[in-house]
Amino acid sequence: MYAIISTGGKQAKVSEGDVLSVELIKDTGNVTYTPLLIVQDDGSVIADPAKLEKATVSAEVLGESAGQKIDIFKYKNKTGYRRRIGHRQKYTTIKVTGIKTPGGKKKAAKSSKDAKAKEDTEAAKAAKAAKAAKAKKDTEAAKAKKDTEAAKAKKDTEAAKVSDEAGNQEA
């Protein structure tokens, strides 16, 4: 199961146990986020805002860090204007401890239907792969036939050219 959360004006895809760096937050200890989207293990998606208000993504703050140094150098020709400054963005490292979804009882009823649907899709994928393999084999056979015909035609034209040259030398 994974969720999409929004923090610091950016969105991140998280699942339980992930460690990620987000824009600096002042909280210490535990933080909670309201997810924008949840995709469960069985493939079902929760995108309804009413259901997502009840869902939470909890995370533990591990610490703070600074990003890579960015050097800024401003220069204007022939004026003596030079400015040199730098910047390091501050980040908070968090570890996702859990994703809670509303209404867990409905998942079990759908799981048997989803299993059948997955089996059907897997069978369809296998059939499609077999069809693609056959088409590839037919394409390769047609290409080989075309190559042999081209080689035969080239050989015939070369033979004709040689006979023409022989005829020209006798005359």
In one-letter notation, the amino acid at residue 4 is I
- pTM as predicted: 0.55
Confidence check: pLDDT of 92 > 70:
yes
Residue ranges per domain, the chain? 2-102
**CA distance linking residue 46 with residue 39, whole number of Å:** 6
DSSP string, 8-63: TTEEEEEETT-EEEEE-----SEEEE--SEEE-TTS-EE--HHHHHH-EEEEEEEE
The 10s digit of each residue's pLDDT in 21-33 is: 999 998 889 999 9
The 10s digit of each residue's pLDDT in 101-121 is: 987 533 333 455 666 677 778
**Residue with tokens 């933080």, as numbered in its chain:** 31
pLDDT confidence band for 16 (50 / 70 / 90): very high
